[in-house]
Amino acid sequence: MLQRILPFTGVLNFRDLGGYQTADGRVTRWRHLYRSDVLHDLTANDLELFRSLGVASIVDLRNPAEVERTGRGLLASEPIHFVNASVLSMEAVEEREDTTVLGEDYLWQRYLTYLEIGPNAFVRALEEMAVSDNYPLVFNCFFGKDRTGVLAALVLSCLGVDSQSIVQDYALTETRVELILQKLRADPIHRDTIDQSDPTLFTANARTMSRFLEELNRRHGGARSWAIGAGVDAQLLDLLSDELLE
């Protein structure tokens, strides 16, 4: 049986988006599209597994400053098509609010804000996904949860995957959170930031994605309608289905 979560050591939230059924009875292809947290922590052994996947492209949703700060690790010398499609402004590198106690509605509301402030990044990512030569493709952010979670929801929804499956895919990150936090707390660069942040920022509960999808439908008519309104050609979305469904 194919694995949903890939067993990397240094990268802890690398997942396959295959095997999700669509409304028309098709299924998303396995070993074709992946979502992940930051990739610069791949170990030498991880790199061998990564190479075995045959990844041709990476779409990094972080800011250029974030990418520059961490570097690309062992992937820097790999012959991979790399695209930095930044969702957030340079002023919002940390994605944090230090002075506010965050409520349970904070995350899904922030995800809606991503659609307003970073539409070009999501459009660019979808355009990259419509190119056959770019596969297998992995997209990522820092935690592999928020920016990555929104793009995963947009892609799967545009393909016709039902909301319940999209919510379940998002909530899988909840099983990875403690591992990621342990890694970050062991890093002096991130330790203080993690300890001082509101724990809400590190959650990935089903309600968050469910509410986001509800509001995406209510405000924008769904992911496909949002994407077309943001500048994605309808024919490109059809190409996306051809690439990702079987």
- Which residue in 154, 130, 133 sits closest to 61, CA to CA? 154
The pLDDT tens digits of the residues spanning 136-151 come to 999 999 999 999 999 9
- The pTM (predicted TM-score) of the whole model is 0.95
- Strand-pair partners of 35: 15, 139
Identify the pLDDT of residue 201: 94
Cα gap 205→200, rounded to integer Å: 10
Identify the pLDDT of residue 8: 98
Which stretches in the chain have pLDDT values below 50? Answer: 93-99
- Asked if 151 and 9 count as a contact pair (C-beta separation under 8 A), the reply is no
Cα gap 215→223, rounded to integer Å: 10
Identify the pLDDT of residue 13: 98
Domains defined along the chain, listed by start? 15-229 (3.90.190.10)
Q: Note the helical H segments in the chain.
A: 44-53, 64-70, 106-117, 119-129, 147-159, 163-171, 177-185, 191-196, 206-220, 223-230, 234-244
Between strands 33-36 and 137-140, the pairing is parallel
